[in-house]
Structure 1
Amino acid sequence: MRRKLSAGVLLALAFLIPAAPAMAHAESPGLNESCQTVERKVYKDIRELVTIDLDTATDVQVRVLANQILSVAKAESLPVLPPAIQDRLDGTPEDLRAFLKTDLRKAWTTDLRISVVRTLTGAGTNVKAAAQKVLDDGTIDTYLAYLNDGLYTARELDCAAQPSPSQPAPSEPSQPAPSSSVAPSDSAPAAGFPSPSATAGTSGGEGGGLPVTGAATGTVAGIGGALLLIGGAGYLIGRRRRSRFVA
């Protein structure tokens, strides 16, 4: 009964222990591939979880360790390690122990490499260069350093090189408006010539001016007509007197 109780306590601790480092290790925010500030995704060093001697540990201890690693691998969305550990947990204790001793490191390294390759989607120049350097090295330490720090440093450089959305695009040089070839209209006076309103009512100089029109023209015409009538009347009266004298 005591042995079963101990096994249950250890299994419960297996799910509580991985959460403690995550709470104590607070990471500063970083930038995602869209240059938006997000919380960093932290990849834990699974080697630090292996604090027991796999050769001398009990089956319960080995199983607790396997559950701790499985919890971390699922939290980091690793594609290879979680199903591999789950298969061994469903098998015999010997298979689980052998996997943790020999195949755990291989599966985890594959997952880290896949995680680095995933960061290349939509990546900028600096991220691509940093990721390629890490992939060429191919060690667990370089993978973790890139995923936890190097990736975000490279993204900051790429985002800083992008143009600011508020910065206006350079405008094209303005072209001079084409000159109009249409002749000036009749209503607009030609350049250098006075308008009719400017010359109206002004007396002509040497060579004569424009004829006077308007109300003054009507007055002159009336006077001329009156003079013609008076002259005609005088002519008729003189002719009548001459006729009487001859008779």
Structure 2
Amino acid sequence: MKINRVSVAVAAAAIAPAVLLSSPAFAADGHKASAASAPDTASEAQKSDAQKNNAQASAEKENAQKDEASKDSASSSKNASDEDNRFAILKIINKSKPGSSVYEAAQKAMNGSAEDRVRFLKEGYELAQFADDTLRTVQISSIGGKAVRRAALEALRKDTHEALRQFLEVGQYVARDEDNSAEIARILHTAKRGSMLFDAAQEALDGSPEDRTRFLETGQHAARATDDRIHALRILSAGGPHVREAATKALRSGKAEDVRHFLDVGQYEARKLDEAEAAKAKNSKDTKGDENAKDGRESKGGKATTGARQKQDGAMDAKKSNGTTDAKPAVATPSTGSSGAQLAATGASSATPWAIGGAAALTVGAGLVIASRRRTAGDH
């Protein structure tokens, strides 16, 4: 089968040229057509090539324009993006604290290149914020109460930005309210029941976290000032002159610190002055009473002493007059009489009449002796 088909094909190929060339009409038409159409075919080909070239040139030009437009668009887009980055970084600088890590990193990015600004916004800002949050957590822990320190330490140990942000935004306030409640409970325990401070502390404990914060910041001080004024008024009503004066001065000043100073220091200083004056007045009164009593004793003792002395003097004079032989006892008579008269005047003793009588007898005897001697002398 295959051999027969190949033979037929070969035979047909061999016969075909002969048949075609043997036909006069086909040969003439074919020659004419070929001669007539040669110039037209060449012209169409040239036109087609020119059109193709023009189209190619136009396409290349259009592509060049597109490329240029694309470059311009990319450049414009890049410039617009850097301006947005600058604006975003400027906002970060404005809300950051000078000296913080974020502030310094943002300033550095603003002074750098466009790539520096992109890098800061993608990762630098987060790293700087983490450093600032860590430092802030440590600072809060250093001044916070027991609960705040515990919560801060827990956040720092986790060493993640999320843990730090949770503490700074929520955790520290919860822990601070726990510390505030403990502090108010301590104040309540030391306050006097029924005082303004006691009632205000109890009300704060029963209230909200804001109530507790307000009490510790302002409320406790106002309550203490009221209690102090009441205490000062009580002291004033029962104190001495200096205490009343000091209390009045402190209350009239209108300053809580003045009243507090009076209660802590002033009242004791004023009380010492009052006590010193009272002691001085008492001593003066006792001294005056002692002097009056002494004067009375001296007056009474003086009278007794004078009477006894006069009595003794009278007895001694009488004795001298009785034992003396010359004229001297007569000279002493007036003195003796004077003593007797003085004894009679004072009335110091019941023996006074006997003393007077004895003195008179002695005087008469002395006179007789003198007269007898003179008479004897005259006789001789």
What is the TM-score of this pair, normalised by structure 1?
A: 0.46
Greater percentage in helix: 2
Specify which structure has the bigger relative contact order, considering alpha-carbon pairs within 8 angstroms and separated by 6 or more residues. 1
TM (norm. structure 2) is: 0.32
